[in-house]
């Protein structure tokens, strides 16, 4: 178990280091940052001043190692636009994104696990086919469009829910639902496939032979095994959701990390953009690690 | 329960399933729209006329029969823009998939076929790629370098190769140990020949399925980026861009966002239905 943990940790650190390098290269793609920051009306001396002020006159490698050195200690630099520390900005915005992501994931699990179980139990019935249809629809639905439709129906026509902002829990209902929709197909399919496989296995036949109740067989024996891939994917899906929330935050004007990134891209605020990419990637790497560990705890066969 | 039983006892799959045919018809219609768009459009999709802004579509009262789906906020014919948008969606979906297929299949086959250190590197590349938030990075690249179709295709292509790599890796790993590959080695074939003549043809059906699903994903992502203002440059009528431009009017005339959204949804659904059908068809064939 310890060897498994150490190896997993080393891979995670290597991935984080690679993403760090990529995030740095990403912001240097446009060539001369100073020109973009100074704006279209800047004179040559303005650009020179910007270059000095932000340390862009130093060799690229020096800038890179300076950034990495600081980022490792949690200092992600200063925002050009907001004139504050990037880490403060991200910390301020993170609760909104996390609330959104966790709401989305909870809703998705609440929907997909029962749907997956029922579809598996009633395999090849019309209910099963309806569930698979829902999964197909969820896969094809553009999230930003679904968000706008919900706004028209529940925000304007019915007036049940607020259209934008983050004042109360009601503000998270529509964005959370939209985000959940993106994870439902994968989670439902996995639950269904896992349950079908588990229900056909020998230990379920044994449990049946022992005369256990149907509910006990389904929930205690089959679900426990079917849940392993679902738990793994749920953690990974949360990572995808945090990265994908940029679209939904923009649609519903939620001022989370995704919105911050979107604003910063428009304002050429490079330190913020590269920091958000890095933070989201690190969260994802951490979540996949958690999911692997959970798997190893749930299924001893995977610890080898 | 094994899948073989599911196929015999289950609902109709592959080419016997209605879903596959619905998907094929949708994709076929989209291809016709995409290829013959210049001949099909009833009006110039770029011609503005402020005298006929936001005309309503045919199912609403007071519509103009010349403009079946109405006009947008600049008086451009909505049907023509929709058809032209199909061309852009399909063009981007297919080109992005070609780029990502080239990258992903190369990486995946190398890892799966040679194993060892090479495979470790391939797995690491896949893990790293998955940890990168796609929408954010694509937005950042387009935001920094400016909006253009070529840039958009290259960016998405460079970001979406992971599924190709995963599938190419696992399938070529299975094929590598089969007898006909051993026979090719014994016959003295070169590595390149074994890979291109023995391995690739035998994993091709899996890759075709990935390709269809990948086209759908690329189309959705393009629409998302265009919606956020960092995708296809205006005045090109991308469906995502049409929804973004119409957003300010959606509370008064909901159809302005409903029409391009439905088009996007139906096309992506159709491609996915076709992809699922192809997968089942290949699965059935390989079993008989």
**Interface predicted TM-score (ipTM) of this complex, two decimals:** 0.84
**Residues A284, B247: C-beta atoms closer than 8 Å:** no
Which of A70-79, A227-236, A255-264, B7-16 has the weakest average pLDDT?
Answer: B7-16
pLDDT at B8: 43
Contact A199 B145 (CB under 8 A): no
Does residue A206 lie in a domain region? Answer: yes
User: What phi and psi, each to the nearest 5 degrees, are found at residue A85?
Assistant: -70, 140
How many Cβ contacts (< 8 angstroms) between chains A and B? 141
DSSP category for residue B233: P
A193 occurs within a structural domain = yes
Q: Select the residue of A124, A152, A265 nearest B139 (Cβ to Cβ).
A: A265
Which of B10, B230, B254 has the CB atom closest to A152's CB atom? B254
- The answer for residues whose C-beta is within 8 angstroms of residue A174's C-beta and 6 or more apart is A147, A150, A151, A154, A155, A161, A252
Which chain A residue is nearest to residue B129, measuring alpha carbons? A19
Q: What is the mean pLDDT of chain B?
A: 85
**Residue A183 domain-assigned (yes or no):** yes
CB-nearest to A136 from B10, B144, B269 is: B269
Q: Write the residue in B2, B137, B224 that is nearest to A142 by C-beta.
A: B224
Q: Is A44 domain-assigned?
A: no
Structure tokens at A144: 């930003």
- On the question of pLDDT at B54 being above 50, the answer is yes
| Residue B94 predicted with pLDDT over 90 | yes
Q: Tell if the CB–CB gap between B1 and A199 is shorter than 8 Å.
A: yes
pLDDT at B245 over 60: yes
B103's CB contacts (< 8 A; 6+ apart) are B157, B158, B161, B164, B165
Q: Is A19 among the domain residues?
A: no
The predicted-structure confidence for B109-139, as pLDDT tens digits, reads as follows 999 888 889 998 999 999 899 888 888 888 8
pLDDT of residue B4: 42
The 8-class DSSP code of residue A85 comes to B
d(CA B104, CA A201): 35
Among A276-290, B50-64, B220-234, the least confident range: B50-64
Listing DSSP states for A124-136 in one string gives: TSHHHHHHHHHHH
B12 → chain A, closest CA residue = A124
Tell me the nearest-neighbour CA distance from B73 into chain A, angstroms.
18
Residue A218, domain extent: 94-266
- Asked whether the predicted pLDDT for residue B98 surpasses 80, the reply is yes
Identify the CATH number of the domain in which residue A176 sits: 1.10.3720.10
Domain assignment of residue A288, yes or no: no
Q: Which residues of B touch A247 (CB under 8 A)?
A: 135, 224, 227-228
Please tell me the distance from the alpha carbon of residue A248 to that of residue A252, in angstroms, as a whole number.
Answer: 6
Comparing CA positions, the residue from B178, B175, B159, B166 lying closest to residue B209 is B166
Residue B288 pLDDT > 60: no
CA dist B244 and B246 (Å) reads 5
pLDDT digits (tens, 9 = 90+) for A36-61: 677 667 777 777 777 777 777 777 78
Residue A81 lies in a domain: no
Q: For chain A, how far is it from start to end, CA to CA, in angstroms?
A: 8
Return d(Cα A86, Cα B115) in angstroms, integer: 42
DSSP-derived secondary structure for A200-239: TSHHHHHHHHTT--HHHIIIIIIHHHHHHHHHHHHHHHHH
Interface test with A, best of B93, B132, B276 (most A CBs within 10 A): B132
DSSP code for B26: H
A36 versus B34: which is more confidently predicted?
A: B34
Mean pLDDT over B184-213 rounds to 87
Q: In angstroms, what separates the C-alpha of B200 from chain A's closest C-alpha?
A: 28
Distance between CA atoms of A241 and A100, rounded to whole angstroms?
9
How high is the mean pLDDT of chain A?
Answer: 83
Q: Do A280 and B136 touch (CB under 8 A)?
A: yes
> Which member of A123, A137, A277 has the closest CB to residue B137?
A277
Quote the crossing angle between the two packed helices B162-176 and B200-227, to the nearest 10°: 170
Q: What integer is the mean pLDDT of B87-99? A: 94
DSSP string, A152-218: IIIIIIS--S-SS--SSGGGGHHHHHHHHHHHHHHHHHHHHHHHHHHHTSHHHHHHHHTT--HHHII
- A211, part of any domain: yes
Q: Quote the pLDDT of residue B1.
A: 37
Question: Of A19, A129, A250, which has the smallest distance from its Cβ to B132's Cβ?
Answer: A19
Indicate which of B22, B23, B26, B133 best probes the interface with A, i.e. most A CBs within 10 Å of its own CB.
Answer: B133
Q: If we measure between CA atoms, which residue out of B277, B154, B274 comes closest to residue B218?
A: B154
- Which residue on chain A is closest to B269 by alpha carbon? A140
pLDDT at B5: 41
Please check the confidence at residue A100 and state whether its pLDDT lies above 50: yes
- Structural domains in chain A (count): 1
> Average pLDDT in the A154-163 region?
78
Residue of B144, B225, B268, B276 to mutate when probing chain A, most A C-beta within 10 A: B144
Structure tokens of A266?
């428009």
Q: What is the pLDDT of residue B2?
A: 40
């Amino acid at each position: 178990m310890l060897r498994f943990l150490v190896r997993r940790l080393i891979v995670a650190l290597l991935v984080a280091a690679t993403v760090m390098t990529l995030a740095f290269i990403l912001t240097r793609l446009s060539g001369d940052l100073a020109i973009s920051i100074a704006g279209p009306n800047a004179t040559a001396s303005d650009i020179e001043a910007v270059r000095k002020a932000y340390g862009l006159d130093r060799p690229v490698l020096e800038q890179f190692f300076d950034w990495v050195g600081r980022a490792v200690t949690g200092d992600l630099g200063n925002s050009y636009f907001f004139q504050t520390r990037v880490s403060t900005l991200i910390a301020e915005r993170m609760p909104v994104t996390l609330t959104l992501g966790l709401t989305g994931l909870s809703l998705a699990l609440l929907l997909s696990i029962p749907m997956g179980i029922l579809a598996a139990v009633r395999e090849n019935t019309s209910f099963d086919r309806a569930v698979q249809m829902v999964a197909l629809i969820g896969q094809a639905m553009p999230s930003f469009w679904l968000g706008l439709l919900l706004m028209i129906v529940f925000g304007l026509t019915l007036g049940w829910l607020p259209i934008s902002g983050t004042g109360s829990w009601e503000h998270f209902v529509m964005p959370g639902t939209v985000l959940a929709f993106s994870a439902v197909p994968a989670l439902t399919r996995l639950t269904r496939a896992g349950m079908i496989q588990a229900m056909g296995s020998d230990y379920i036949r044994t449990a049946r032979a022992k005369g256990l109740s149907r509910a006990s067989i389904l929930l205690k024996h089959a679900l426990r095994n079917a849940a392993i891939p679902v738990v793994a994917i749920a953690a990974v899906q949360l990572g995808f959701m945090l990265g994908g929330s940029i679209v939904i935050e923009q649609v519903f004007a939620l001022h989370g990390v995704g919105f911050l990134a979107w604003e910063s891209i428009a304002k050429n605020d490079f330190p913020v953009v590269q920091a958000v990419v890095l933070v989201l990637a690190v969260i994802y790497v951490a979540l996949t690690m958690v999911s692997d560990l959970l798997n190893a705890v749930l299924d001893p066969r995977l610890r080898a | 329960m094994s899948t073989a039983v599911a196929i015999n006892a289950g609902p109709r799959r592959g080419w016997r399933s209605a879903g596959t045919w619905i998907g094929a018809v949708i994709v076929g219609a989209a291809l016709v729209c995409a290829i013959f768009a210049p001949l099909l459009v009833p009006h110039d999709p770029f011609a503005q006329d402020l005298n006929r802004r936001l005309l309503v579509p045919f199912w609403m009262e007071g519509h103009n029969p010349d403009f079946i789906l109405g006009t947008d906020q600049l008086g451009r014919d909505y049907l023509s823009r929709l058809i032209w948008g199909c061309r852009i969606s399909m063009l981007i979906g297919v080109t992005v998939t070609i780029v990502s297929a080239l990258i992903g299949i190369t990486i995946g086959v190398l890892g799966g076929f040679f194993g060892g250190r090479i495979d470790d590197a391939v797995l690491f590349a896949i893990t790293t790629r998955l940890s990168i938030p796609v929408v954010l990075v694509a937005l950042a690249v387009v935001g920094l370098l400016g909006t253009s179709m070529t840039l958009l295709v290259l960016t998405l292509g460079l970001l979406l190769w992971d599924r190709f790599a995963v599938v190419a890796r696992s399938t070529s790993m299975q094929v590598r140990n089969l007898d006909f590959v051993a026979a090719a080695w014994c016959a003295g074939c070169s590595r390149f020949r074994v890979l291109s003549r023995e391995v690739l043809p035998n994993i091709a059906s899996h890759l075709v399925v990935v390709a269809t699903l990948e086209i759908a994903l690329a189309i959705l992502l393009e629409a998302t980026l265009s919606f956020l203002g960092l995708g296809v440059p205006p005045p090109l009528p991308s469906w995502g861009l049409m929804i973004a431009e119409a957003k300010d009017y959606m509370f008064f005339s909901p159809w302005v966002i409903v029409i391009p959204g439905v088009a996007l949804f139906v096309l992506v659904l159709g491609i996915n239905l076709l992809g699922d059908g192809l997968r089942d068809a290949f699965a059935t064939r390989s079993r008989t």
